[in-house]
C-alpha cells in the first residue's frame, strides 16, 4: 500500500530531536524555528516530559471515558491556574479541528441557531464545521458548504454588529493571532467591541487559541493582551508538545448535559500525563518570561536587516515579511543553513514558531544566517 499523497514534502527525514534541534537520518543537525507547525512548546524530548509519558505508559495508557480518570481533573485544575482562566470547564478531545468542531457545536446547542461569523483568511481546521469557518475554498468539499458561514474583514466592527443584528448567529469564531493566514490580528479595540456585542446579543465568542495559546504570544492566551474574557476557548498544538490532544474551555455560565459532547480517545491517560507535564515545565522554567525576552531581542535584531519590510505577530508567533516570495529562501534556510521555518497564505512571509525554550543565542545564529543568505 502507498500513502494517500496529500502533503507537499521537503526531502528531510528527522530521526532524533532534542531541545530546539532536530537531526536527520544523515546526522545533519537543524535549528527548529517551526516546532512542527507550532506544536513543540517545551522543546523536543524534554527529559521530564519523556519520564512522565514513559511512567504513565507503563501504568495505564488508555481506558474509555466511561470510567473515572483523575488525571483529567488534575489537568483541568492546573490549566485553570496556569492560564488564569479558572471560571471555565474543560472538554478534552484529540486535535485542533476537533476542539473547534465541538466549540461550534456547543455554541449551536446553546443558541439554537446555526450561522457562524468568521473572518477573512481564518484557519480553524479541516473537520465539517471547522473547515467551513476556514476561509479557503480549496479545502472545502461540497459537503462542507452546507454550513452557513459569513466571513468578515478583521477590524470592521460595524459589519460584526450588522451580522449579529440579524439574530441568527450561533457563534463568532476568531483566532487570537491568525496563523496559517499570515499573522494578522484584531486590534485591542476590535476584540473588546466584538466581546461587547457578543455579550449583548448572547452569542458565544469562540477564541481559537490553538496556535496562539500556551504562552506562544507572550501571554498564556493571545486574547489576554486585549483584556477580554471569551465564552469559549479552543486549544491544541502546544498543549502536549506533540502528543495528540485538544481542548475546549467553556465558560461556567454554560451548563453541561450528559452525552452532549463525547469522544473515544479524548483525555486519555497518556494525553493527560503529557499535557500536565507541559504545564509544569511552562511554570517551572518560566517559559512565558523567556518568550518575551527572546521576542524583544528578535525584534531589535531583525529590524536591522534592510530587506525585512515588516514583522507581524507577538512573542514567538512571528511573521517576517519581505517584498518577494519566500519559497526559495525557506529552501536555502533548510538545505544550506539547516534551519526550519514556516510559510503561510501570505507567500512573502516567513513564519517563525520555535519551541518556547529557544535562547537569544540561537536566534542570533538564525539572524546571521538569514543576513548572509539575503546578501548572497
Ligand atoms: C488556529 C488554528 N486552528 C485550528 C487548527 C487545526 O488544528 P489541527 O491540525 O490539530 O486539527 C490549526 C492548525 O494549524 C490552527 O492553526
- Report CA(59)–ligand 1 centroid distance (Å): 31
Report which of 322, 163, 156, 180 is spatially closest to residue 237, judged by C-alpha positions. Answer: 180
Say which residue the cell 465541538 belongs to: 102
Which residue's alpha carbon is nearest to atom 16 within ligand 1? Answer: 211
Which residue's alpha carbon is nearest to atom 8 within ligand 1? Answer: 96
- Compare 145 and 65 and report the one with higher pLDDT: 65
How many CB atoms within 10 Å of residue 348?
18
- Report CA(130)–ligand 1 centroid distance (Å): 9
- Report CA(211)–ligand 1 centroid distance (Å): 7
For 34-77, the pLDDT digits (tens) are 999 999 999 999 999 999 999 999 999 999 999 999 999 999 99
State the pLDDT at residue 277: 98
Give residues (CB < 6 A) around ligand 1. Answer: 37, 95-97, 100, 123-125, 175, 179-180, 208, 210-211, 236
CA distances from 58 to 46, 55, 63, 264, 344 (A): 18, 5, 14, 21, 40
Q: What is the mean pLDDT of the chain?
A: 98
Percentage of residues of the chain with pLDDT beyond 90: 99
For 163-181, the pLDDT digits (tens) are 999 999 999 999 999 999 9
Which atom number of ligand 1 is nearest to the Cα of residue 95? 10
- Report CA(236)–ligand 1 centroid distance (Å): 8
For 188-233, the pLDDT digits (tens) are 999 999 999 999 999 999 999 999 999 999 999 999 999 999 999 9
- Report CA(139)–ligand 1 centroid distance (Å): 13
Report which of 100, 91, 112 is spatially closest to residue 263, judged by C-alpha positions. Answer: 91
Provide the pLDDT confidence category of residue 239 given band limits of 50, 70 and 90: very high
Angle at 233 between CA 231 and CA 40, to 5 degrees: 165
State the pLDDT at residue 138: 97
Report which of 353, 198, 216 is spatially closest to residue 282, judged by C-alpha positions. Answer: 216
Element (H, E) at 24: strand 21-24
State the pLDDT at residue 288: 98
Provide the pLDDT confidence category of residue 119 given band limits of 50, 70 and 90: very high
- Burial of 104 from C-beta contacts in 10 A (0-12 / 13-18 / 19+): buried
State the pLDDT at residue 37: 96
22-28: long-range contacts at Cβ-Cβ below 8 A with a sequence spacing of 24 or more?
A: 22/340, 28/338
Which residue's alpha carbon is nearest to atom 10 within ligand 1? Answer: 96
C-beta of residue 238 within 8 angstroms of C-beta of residue 213: yes
Percentage of residues of the chain with pLDDT beyond 70: 100
Q: Which domains does the chain have, with CATH numbers?
A: 14-42+287-375 (3.90.1150.10), 47-284 (3.40.640.10)
Element (H, E) at 208: strand 205-208
Provide the pLDDT confidence category of residue 274 given band limits of 50, 70 and 90: very high
Determine the average pLDDT of the residues in 135-143: 97
- Report CA(362)–ligand 1 centroid distance (Å): 27
Amino acid at each position: 500500500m502507498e500513502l494517500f499523497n496529500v502533503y507537499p514534502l521537503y526531502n528531510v527525514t528527522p530521526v532524533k530531536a532534542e531541545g530546539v534541534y532536530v537531526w536527520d537520518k544523515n546526522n545533519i543537525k537543524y535549528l527548529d524555528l517551526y516546532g512542527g507547525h507550532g506544536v513543540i512548546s517545551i522543546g523536543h524530548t524534554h527529559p521530564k516530559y519523556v519520564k512522565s509519558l514513559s511512567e504513565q505508559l507503563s501504568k495505564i495508557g488508555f481506558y474509555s471515558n466511561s470510567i473515572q480518570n483523575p488525571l483529567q481533573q488534575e489537568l483541568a485544575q492546573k490549566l485553570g491556574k496556569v492560564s488564569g482562566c479558572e471560571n471555565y470547564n474543560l472538554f478534552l478531545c484529540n486535535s485542533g479541528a476537533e476542539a473547534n468542531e465541538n466549540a461550534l457545536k456547543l455554541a449551536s446547542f446553546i443558541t439554537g441557531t446555526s450561522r457562524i461569523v468568521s473572518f477573512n483568511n481564518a484557519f480553524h481546521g479541516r473537520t465539517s464545521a471547522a473547515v467551513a469557518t476556514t476561509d479557503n475554498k480549496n479545502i472545502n468539499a461540497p459537503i462542507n458548504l452546507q454550513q452557513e458561514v459569513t466571513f468578515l474583514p478583521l477590524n470592521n466592527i460595524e459589519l460584526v454588529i450588522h451580522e449579529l443584528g440579524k439574530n441568527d448567529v450561533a457563534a463568532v469564531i476568531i483566532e487570537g493571532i491568525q496563523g496559517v493566514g499570515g499573522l494578522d490580528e484584531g486590534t485591542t479595540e476590535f476584540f473588546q467591541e466584538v466581546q461587547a456585542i457578543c455579550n449583548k446579543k448572547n452569542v458565544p465568542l469562540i477564541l481559537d487559541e490553538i496556535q496562539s495559546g500556551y504562552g506562544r504570544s507572550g501571554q498564556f492566551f493571545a486574547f489576554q493582551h486585549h483584556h477580554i474574557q471569551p465564552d469559549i476557548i479552543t486549544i491544541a498544538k502546544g498543549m502536549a508538545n506533540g502528543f495528540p490532544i485538544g481542548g475546549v474551555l467553556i465558560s461556567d455560565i454554560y451548563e453541561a448535559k450528559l452525552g452532549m459532547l463525547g469522544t473515544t480517545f479524548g483525555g486519555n491517560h497518556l494525553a493527560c500525563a503529557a499535557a500536565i507535564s507541559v504545564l509544569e515545565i511552562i511554570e517551572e522554567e518560566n517559559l512565558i518570561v523567556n518568550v518575551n525576552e527572546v521576542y524583544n531581542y528578535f525584534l531589535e535584531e531583525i529590524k536591522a536587516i534592510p530587506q525585512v519590510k515588516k514583522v507581524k505577530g507577538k512573542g514567538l508567533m512571528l511573521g517576517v515579511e519581505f517584498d518577494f516570495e519566500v519559497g526559495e529562501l525557506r529552501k536555502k534556510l533548510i538545505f544550506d543553513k539547516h534551519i526550519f521555518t514556516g510559510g503561510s497564505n501570505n507567500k512573502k512571509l516567513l513564519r517563525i514558531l520555535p519551541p518556547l525554550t529557544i535562547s537569544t543565542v540561537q536566534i542570533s545564529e538564525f539572524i546571521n544566517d538569514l543576513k548572509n543568505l539575503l546578501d548572497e
